[in-house]
Each structure stands twice: as structure tokens, then as C-alpha cells.
């Protein structure tokens, strides 16, 4: 970036400033020998301003695309978190039911007092069922814990993506502010160009 391009970037729009004021900032010029000399510098400045503004608009668009993509990712990940939370809650509910079933089986086993063959067979069946239920409790509890850990990771990812989206939005707004400022200064120069064109045409007609 050349020094003059940098100066163009640094121009700040103020309603009280004219194109001549901006030209003094850009080129350190106190005056002009003729309207044609000023016209040349105005046209040169317009080209630089337009180029810089368009470049800034492209940067703004880039940040807009980035922000929108990140917001879309946030939305999708929030949906994933919801699904995982529902799965974890279902698994926790199943663990609770299985623990209750295991507890009921334990009560039934303790309730068997008779020592006859039929009672002992019944006790064996209940013990076998209790062991199966216990293994199922452990398995489902492990699944619920895995779902919970995955949900935590997804929540962290959502926070990271949201932070990046907010950063992209901030950059977008800053870039748009710069582009809008350049456009306002450009309009001042365009108006001055038209004024000078009328002055030059009028002087040539005389």
C-alpha cells in the first residue's frame, strides 16, 4: 500500500469538510493554479477512494460470509446438543427404572424363606435375573455418562463457535464503518468533480 493510499484510508468524513480540505490532507496542497489542475487531482482521488472503498466492501463481504457460516454451525451444534441431551435423559431414566427393578428383585429374593426345591429354583431364577439387570444398569449408566461427556464437549464447541461468530460480526461492523466512511468522502469528491466540470465547460464556452 502506497503512502497516498494509506492517506485515503485514513480520511475521516466530516460534513464541514470540502473536497479541497481533503485534497490538502492527501497532497499537502494549499491551492491550485487552475480549475483543471484541481480537477485532475479530484479525479485521481476519486479513483483511489473508489478502489479503496471497493476493497473494503470485499473485506466486509468476507466477514459477512464467515459470520453467517459460523452462525449456521452454531445452530446445527445446538440442535446436536439438544438431541444428545434427550438421549442422555432417556438413558438416565432407563437407569432409574432398572435400579428399581433390581431393588424389587432383591426384595423378592429376601422374601424367599422356604428351603424346598421349588423355592430354591425360584431363588436361582431371581438371582440370575438380578445379575442380568445389574449388568444392564452398568451398561446403560456408562452410555448415559458417555452422552453427558459428549454433550459437555458439544456445549464447549458451541461456545467457541459463538465467540468466533461474534468476533466476525464485530470485524464486519468495523469494516462496514470504514467502507461507509470512504463512500461518504467519495461522494464529496464526486460532487466537486461535477462542480469543476461545469466551471471548466463554462470557461471554455466563453
Here the CATH number for the domain that contains residue 200 is 1.10.287.1490
**Residue with C-alpha cell 428383585?**
105
pLDDT, tens digit, 9 for 90 and up, residues 118-161: 888 999 999 999 999 999 999 999 999 999 999 999 999 999 99
What pLDDT, on a 0 to 100 scale, did the predictor assign at position 160?
A: 97
Asked whether the beta carbons of 19 and 191 are under 8 A apart, the reply is: yes
Residue segments in the chain with a per-residue pLDDT below the cut of 50: 1-6
Q: Rounded to the nearest 5 degrees, what angle is found at the Cα of 58, between the Cα atoms of 52 and 59?
A: 90
Rg, C-alpha atoms of the chain: 38
Classify the C-alpha dihedral 154-159-164-166 as positive or negative. Answer: positive
Within 8 A by CB and 6+ apart from 52, the residues are 5, 8, 9, 182
- Quote the domain boundaries for residue 140: 3-205
CA gap 165, 53 in Å, rounded: 24
What pLDDT, on a 0 to 100 scale, did the predictor assign at position 206?
A: 58
What pLDDT, on a 0 to 100 scale, did the predictor assign at position 8?
A: 77
CA gap 65, 60 in Å, rounded: 9
Q: Is 168 exposed, middle or buried (0-12, 13-18, 19+ CB in 10 A)?
A: buried
CA gap 185, 190 in Å, rounded: 9
What pLDDT, on a 0 to 100 scale, did the predictor assign at position 205?
A: 66
Please state the domain count of the chain: 1
pLDDT, tens digit, 9 for 90 and up, residues 6-15: 467 778 999 9
Amino acid at each position: 500500500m502506497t503512502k497516498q493510499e494509506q492517506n485515503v484510508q485514513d480520511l475521516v468524513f466530516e460534513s464541514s469538510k470540502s473536497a479541497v480540505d481533503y485534497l490538502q490532507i492527501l497532497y499537502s496542497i494549499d491551492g491550485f493554479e487552475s480549475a483543471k489542475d484541481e480537477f485532475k487531482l479530484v479525479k485521481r482521488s476519486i479513483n483511489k477512494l473508489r478502489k479503496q472503498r471497493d476493497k473494503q466492501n470485499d473485506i466486509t463481504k468476507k466477514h459477512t460470509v464467515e459470520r453467517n457460516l459460523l452462525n449456521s454451525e452454531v445452530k446445527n451444534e445446538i440442535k446436536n446438543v439438544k438431541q444428545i441431551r434427550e438421549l442422555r435423559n432417556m438413558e438416565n431414566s432407563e437407569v432409574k427404572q432398572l435400579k428399581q427393578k433390581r431393588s424389587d428383585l432383591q426384595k423378592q429374593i429376601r422374601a424367599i424363606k422356604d428351603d424346598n426345591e421349588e423355592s430354591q429354583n425360584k431363588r436361582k431364577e431371581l438371582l440370575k435375573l438380578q445379575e442380568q439387570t445389574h449388568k444392564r444398569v452398568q451398561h446403560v449408566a456408562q452410555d448415559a455418562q458417555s452422552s453427558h461427556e459428549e454433550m459437555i464437549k458439544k456445549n464447549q464447541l458451541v461456545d467457541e463457535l459463538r465467540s468466533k461468530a461474534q468476533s466476525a460480526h464485530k470485524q464486519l461492523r468495523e469494516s462496514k464503518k470504514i467502507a461507509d466512511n470512504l463512500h461518504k468522502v467519495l461522494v464529496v469528491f464526486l460532487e466537486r468533480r461535477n462542480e469543476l466540470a461545469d466551471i471548466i465547460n463554462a470557461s471554455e464556452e466563453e
